[in-house]
Structure 1
Amino acid sequence: MSSFSSLFTRRKNKNRGRTSEKEIYDQEGIPKHYDRKLDRNLCSIQELFKQTTDYEEIHIKVGDLKGCVCYLGTTLNKSELNMQVLEPLREAFKQPETDAHRDLDYLREAFFPAVSYEYAETLHQLVWQMLNGYAVVMIDEHSKALALNIGGTDKRSISEPSTQTIIRGPKEGFIEDINTNIGLIRKKIKSPRLVFEDFRVGSDSNTKLSIGYMKGIVNEDILSEVKLRINKINASGILDTGNVEEFITDETFTFFPLIYNSERPDSISGNILEGKIAILLDGSPFVLIVPSVFTDFFQSTEDYYQPFFMTSFIRIIRYVSFMITLTFPSLYVAITTYHHELMPTPLLINIQSQREGVPFPAVIEILMMELTFEVLREAGVRMPRAVGQTLSIVGALVIGQAAVEAGLVSNVLVVIVAFSAIASFVSPIYNFSIAARLIRFILIIMAASLGLYGILLSLIVMVIHLVSLRTFGIPYLTPVAPFKLKDQSDVFVRVPIWGDRYRPSYLMTKAPVKNKDSSRPSSPDQNTGGKKEND
Structure 2
Amino acid sequence: MSILKSLLKMRKKKELPIQIEEPPDADAGADLKTLSLEQLKEKIKDEFGSTIDLSMDDLKTEGKDALLVYLTSMVDTKQLKETFLQSLSGKHDGLKLTTEDDLKSLCKEKFGGAGYQLIETFNDIITALLFGNIIIVFKDLEKALSLSMASSEDRSITEPSTQTVIRGPKDGFVESISTNVSLLRRRIKNRNLRFEKFIIGSETNTSVYIGYMEGISNKKIVEEVRKRLRKIKVHAIFESGNIEELIADKTATPFPLALNTERPDTVAANLLDGKIVILVDGTPFVLLVPAVLVDFFSIAEDYYQNFMMGSFLRIIRYLAFMIALITPSLYVGILTFHHELLPTPLLLGIIAQREGVPFPAVIEVLIMEVTFEILREAGVRMPRAVGQTVSIVGALVIGQAAAEAGIISNIMVIIVAITAIANFVSPTYSFAAAARLLRFMLIIVSAILGLYGVLLVLVFIVAHLSSLRSFGVAYLSPVAPFIIEQQKDVFFRFPFWSMRQRPAYLKTQNPEKMPKTGSPSPPPMKGERAN
Same fold, TM-score > 0.5, yes or no: yes
Is this contact kept in 2: 1:101–1:107, CA < 8 A?
Answer: no
Shift of 1:28: 9.7
Shift of 1:112: 2.5
Shift of 1:415: 0.2
Distance change >3 Å, CA 180–CA 157, structure 1 → 2: same
Once the two structures are superposed, residues 495-532 of structure 1 have per-residue CA deviations (whole angstroms, 9 ceiling, x without a partner) of 11110000011111110000114431111222179xx9
User: Quick check: 143-152 or 499-508, which moved more?
Assistant: 143-152
Distance 1:277 1:185 in 2: 13
Letter in structure 1 aligned against 2:70: Y
Is this contact kept in 1: 2:119–2:125, CA < 8 A?
Answer: yes
Is this contact kept in 2: 1:266–1:301, CA < 8 A?
Answer: yes
Shift of 1:533: 8.0
Distance 1:187 1:235 in 2: 33
Shift of 1:84: 2.1
Is this contact kept in 2: 1:75–1:153, CA < 8 A?
Answer: no
- Partner residue, 1:325: 324
Letter in structure 2 aligned against 1:409: I
SS at match of 2:427: coil
Confirm whether residue 117 of structure 1 aligns to residue 102 of structure 2: no
SS at match of 1:511: coil
Shift of 1:56: 0.3
- Partner residue, 1:65: 64
Letter in structure 1 aligned against 2:371: T
Where structure 2 has 5 or more consecutive residues not aligned to the other structure, the ranges are 1-22
Aligned pair partner of 2:96 in 96, 99, 118 = 99
SS at match of 1:187: helix
Letter in structure 1 aligned against 2:190: S
Distance change >3 Å, CA 406–CA 433, structure 1 → 2: same
- Partner residue, 1:314: 313
- Partner residue, 1:32: 30
Shift of 1:63: 2.2
Letter in structure 2 aligned against 1:33: D
- Partner residue, 2:244: 245
Distance change >3 Å, CA 399–CA 28, structure 1 → 2: farther
Distance change >3 Å, CA 31–CA 215, structure 1 → 2: closer
Distance 2:264 2:408 in 1: 45
Distance change >3 Å, CA 168–CA 528, structure 1 → 2: farther
SS at match of 1:147: strand
Shift of 1:417: 0.6
Pairing of 1:453-532 with structure 2 (within 5 A): 453-527=452-526
Shift of 1:243: 0.4
SS at match of 1:526: coil
Letter in structure 2 aligned against 1:34: L
- Partner residue, 2:293: 294
Is this contact kept in 2: 1:370–1:417, CA < 8 A?
Answer: yes
User: Quick check: 48-57 or 359-368, which moved more?
Assistant: 48-57
Shift of 1:37: 3.1
User: Quick check: 374-383 or 34-43, which moved more?
Assistant: 34-43
Letter in structure 1 aligned against 2:502: R
Letter in structure 2 aligned against 1:506: Y
Distance 2:117 2:388 in 1: 49
Pairing of 1:167-186 with structure 2 (within 5 A): 167-186=166-185
Identical positions, percent: 50
Is this contact kept in 1: 2:64–2:97, CA < 8 A?
Answer: no
Shift of 1:151: 3.4
Distance 1:451 1:420 in 2: 19
Letter in structure 2 aligned against 1:204: E
Letter in structure 1 aligned against 2:431: F
Distance change >3 Å, CA 300–CA 26, structure 1 → 2: farther
Shift of 1:96: 6.0
Is this contact kept in 2: 1:30–1:44, CA < 8 A?
Answer: no
Letter in structure 1 aligned against 2:526: N
Pairing of 1:343-362 with structure 2 (within 5 A): 343-362=342-361
Distance 1:282 1:45 in 2: 26
Shift of 1:153: 3.8
Shift of 1:477: 0.8
Letter in structure 2 aligned against 1:86: L
Distance 2:453 2:27 in 1: 62
Distance 1:139 1:272 in 2: 45
Once the two structures are superposed, residues 188-233 of structure 1 have per-residue CA deviations (whole angstroms, 9 ceiling, x without a partner) of 1010110011111111111111100000111111111111111111
Shift of 1:482: 1.1
Distance 1:523 1:159 in 2: 39
SS at match of 1:356: helix
Pairing of 1:217-228 with structure 2 (within 5 A): 217-228=216-227
- Partner residue, 1:422: 421
Is this contact kept in 2: 1:134–1:148, CA < 8 A?
Answer: yes
- Partner residue, 1:205: 204
Distance 2:440 2:84 in 1: 62
Letter in structure 2 aligned against 1:262: T
Is this contact kept in 2: 1:121–1:145, CA < 8 A?
Answer: yes
Is this contact kept in 1: 2:74–2:131, CA < 8 A?
Answer: yes
Is this contact kept in 2: 1:63–1:97, CA < 8 A?
Answer: no
Is this contact kept in 1: 2:328–2:365, CA < 8 A?
Answer: yes
Distance change >3 Å, CA 289–CA 128, structure 1 → 2: same
SS at match of 1:489: coil
Is this contact kept in 1: 2:221–2:471, CA < 8 A?
Answer: yes
Distance 2:46 2:517 in 1: 65
Letter in structure 1 aligned against 2:353: Q
Distance 1:533 1:343 in 2: 60
Confirm whether residue 265 of structure 1 aligns to residue 254 of structure 2: no
Shift of 1:31: 3.9
Distance 1:114 1:260 in 2: 37
Distance 1:190 1:272 in 2: 12
User: Quick check: 249-258 or 514-523, which moved more?
Assistant: 514-523
Confirm whether residue 162 of structure 1 aligns to residue 196 of structure 2: no
Once the two structures are superposed, residues 294-319 of structure 1 have per-residue CA deviations (whole angstroms, 9 ceiling, x without a partner) of 11100101111011000000111111
Is this contact kept in 1: 2:137–2:143, CA < 8 A?
Answer: yes
Distance 1:437 1:50 in 2: 48
Once the two structures are superposed, residues 332-361 of structure 1 have per-residue CA deviations (whole angstroms, 9 ceiling, x without a partner) of 011111111111111011100000010000
Using structure 1 for the length normalisation, give the TM-score.
0.92
SS at match of 2:116: strand
Distance 2:517 2:122 in 1: 57
Confirm whether residue 191 of structure 1 aligns to residue 190 of structure 2: yes
Distance 1:163 1:348 in 2: 40
- Partner residue, 2:13: none
Letter in structure 2 aligned against 1:37: S
Is this contact kept in 2: 1:63–1:101, CA < 8 A?
Answer: no
SS at match of 1:252: coil
Is this contact kept in 2: 1:376–1:392, CA < 8 A?
Answer: yes
Once the two structures are superposed, residues 218-266 of structure 1 have per-residue CA deviations (whole angstroms, 9 ceiling, x without a partner) of 1111111111111111111111110001110011000111110100000
SS at match of 2:526: helix
Distance 1:91 1:46 in 2: 30
Distance 1:210 1:438 in 2: 32
Aligned-residue CA RMSD in angstroms? 1.8
Where structure 1 has 5 or more consecutive residues not aligned to the other structure, the ranges are 1-24
Is this contact kept in 2: 1:80–1:151, CA < 8 A?
Answer: no
Distance 1:31 1:269 in 2: 41
Distance 2:397 2:206 in 1: 46
Is this contact kept in 1: 2:131–2:150, CA < 8 A?
Answer: no
Count of equivalent residues: 506
Is this contact kept in 1: 2:353–2:410, CA < 8 A?
Answer: yes
- Partner residue, 1:285: 284
SS at match of 1:136: strand
Distance 2:249 2:49 in 1: 44
